[in-house]
Structure 1
Amino acid sequence: MKTNKTIKNSITILILFLTIIGFSQTKSSNTVSLDVFYSKIKSEKNPQIIDARGPEEFALNHINGAVNFNLESKDYDQQIAKLDKTKPVFNYSIGAGRSVWLADDLLKKGFKEAYSLEGGIANWIGNGKPFYANSKSKLTLAEYKKIIAENKDVLVDIGSIYCGACKKVKPVLETIRTQYGANLKIIEIDLEDSPQVIADLKTVKVFPTLILYKDGKIVFKKEGLGDLKNDVDVALAVK
């Protein structure tokens, strides 16, 4: 009996994440911009804000007033039952995958309104909205600006250790680092280590975000990996 139950639970979790992956590829009709998400929250006296990331992510940083819903937990239905169906529910995750799934599931369960934040926590913190962090940022905005000013060419990688797309950037950065050596300064900024500098920059909408500076000026800003290696080569080839 226990084996069958374990298999059933494993299949349920697999289906859940396959669904999440599917949602993350397309924008749901319940996904709203940061401005809409923020204004709706401000209009509520006691907004229901749900962080759909894992508990370890939530412990490091989250939107002020949010509570954590672990979509894999056994008490998921009990967590849902604590919410008021007549009031809006505001969901977010690292990007939009888990929060989109949660918003759609809440609507299926009879909730009046449920929204997912476009760009997730990256968009919220990256545009300077109020948030909680359990530690002080390792890098300050002043230190960031000093690095930009003191180096001719600087490539900045902004992301999160929990972001799947961000992990794909790392081997490309190593290739670039090997090729350019001391001629190109590379800064890697993770949400978990330096959330405040990400907030102070007010330029991040999604993870990863790549910014290339040349003589203190932005040459390009990329949202997502794309063809980073080629873009860097082309930009640095320009005299």
Structure 2
Amino acid sequence: MDPTAFEQKIKSGSVQILDVRTSKEYKSGYIDNAMLADWLNEKQFNERTQHLDKSRPVLVYCASGIRSAEAAEVLRTRGYTVFELVGGMNKWKREGKPVKGDKPVSQMGTEDFNKLVQQSNLVLVDFGATWCPPCRKMEPVLQQLEKDLSGQFALTKIDAGVHTALMKQMNVEALPHFFVYKNGQKVWDKQGIVSLEELKKALQL
């Protein structure tokens, strides 16, 4: 699809937008609501794309169209309906289509993080990002958790697309990654998709 058709497809609703560039490229500007799965990082690409919804079309793009074409071919063999942006972000920008960009945010240090996990007797920390497919899949689970255990714990979300130094210190290698702190001390952590019941159990340790 050319940029205009791609944009109209996005506006039609019920689609998933997938950016297959690197995280550095993504930060330089991306299509609103796009998720990220780096095609050049095979492990990351496979891990993140397995959480896409096969009942909804996937609109995929890269910088020029080469990587997205390769990614689209693989996704189709896995049962997804895929549409590609011809010319990629380069052509999208040349045609004046809207581009989102991250605003500069200061890196969170260990001291600030320690203050966050001491804000309540019981804290659930969520290292995630809006562009992460499994993180989005966890959103309704977290919302339900907050309803079911209302007032019993504090949920702290750490944007892994920003606070990369803290991620390294915490040994967070993949997203999402959850931690439970009780009275400021870590008592549980787990990487990846976690069920509602498992989170409840972790918070009741």
TM-score (norm 1): 0.45
Question: Relative to structure 2, which stretch is displaced further, 148-157 or 189-198?
Answer: 189-198
Larger Rg: 1
Structure 1 residue 56: deviation in Å?
5.4
Instruction: Please state whether the residue corresponding to 2:151 is helix, strand or coil.
Output: helix
The residue type equivalent to 1:179 in the other structure is: D
What CA distance in whole angstroms lies between the structure 1 residues aligned with 2:127 and 2:177? 5
Cα 1:215–1:55 change in 2 (3 A) is closer
Please tell me whether the aligned partners of residues 167 and 173 of structure 2 are also in contact (alpha carbons under 8 angstroms): no
Structure 1 residue 185: deviation in Å?
0.7
Structure 1 equivalent of residue 186 of structure 2:
218
Cα 1:92–1:145 change in 2 (3 A) is same
Q: 1:198 aligns with which of 162, 167, 174?
A: 167
Structure 1 residue 190: deviation in Å?
1.6
Cα 1:202–1:138 change in 2 (3 A) is closer
Q: 1:137 aligns with which of 106, 110, 114?
A: 106
How many residues are paired up?
135
* In the alignment, structure 1 residue 235 sits paired with structure 2 residue 184: no
**Mapping 1:1-239, distance limit 5 Å:** 52-53=21-22, 57-59=26-28, 91-92=40-41, 95-97=44-46, 135-137=104-106, 139-199=108-168, 201-227=169-195, 229-238=196-205
Cα 1:137–1:171 change in 2 (3 A) is farther
Please tell me whether the aligned partners of residues 159 and 208 of structure 1 are also in contact (alpha carbons under 8 angstroms): yes
Structure 1 residue 166: deviation in Å?
0.7
Please give the per-residue CA displacement for 1:68-113, whole angstroms capped at 9, x wherever unaligned: xx97xxxxxxxxxxxxxxxxxxx43892439xxx7xx8xxxxxxxx
- Structure having the higher helix fraction is 1
What CA distance in whole angstroms lies between the structure 2 residues aligned with 1:185 and 1:191? 19
The residue type equivalent to 2:157 in the other structure is: E
Structure 1 residue 181: deviation in Å?
2.4
Cα 1:94–1:216 change in 2 (3 A) is farther
The residue type equivalent to 1:172 in the other structure is: V
Q: What runs of 5+ residues in structure 1 fail to find an aligned partner?
A: 7-50, 61-69, 72-90, 106-132
Structure 1 residue 153: deviation in Å?
0.7
Structure 1 residue 160: deviation in Å?
1.8
What CA distance in whole angstroms lies between the structure 2 residues aligned with 1:54 and 1:203? 18
Instruction: Please state whether the residue corresponding to 2:118 is helix, strand or coil.
Output: helix
Q: What runs of 5+ residues in structure 2 fail to find an aligned partner?
A: 6-19, 30-37, 48-66, 71-101
Please give the per-residue CA displacement for 1:112-162, whole angstroms capped at 9, x wherever unaligned: xxxxxxxxxxxxxxxxxxxxx972336443221012123211101112211
Please tell me whether the aligned partners of residues 137 and 196 of structure 1 are also in contact (alpha carbons under 8 angstroms): no
Alignment RMSD (CA, Å)? 4.2
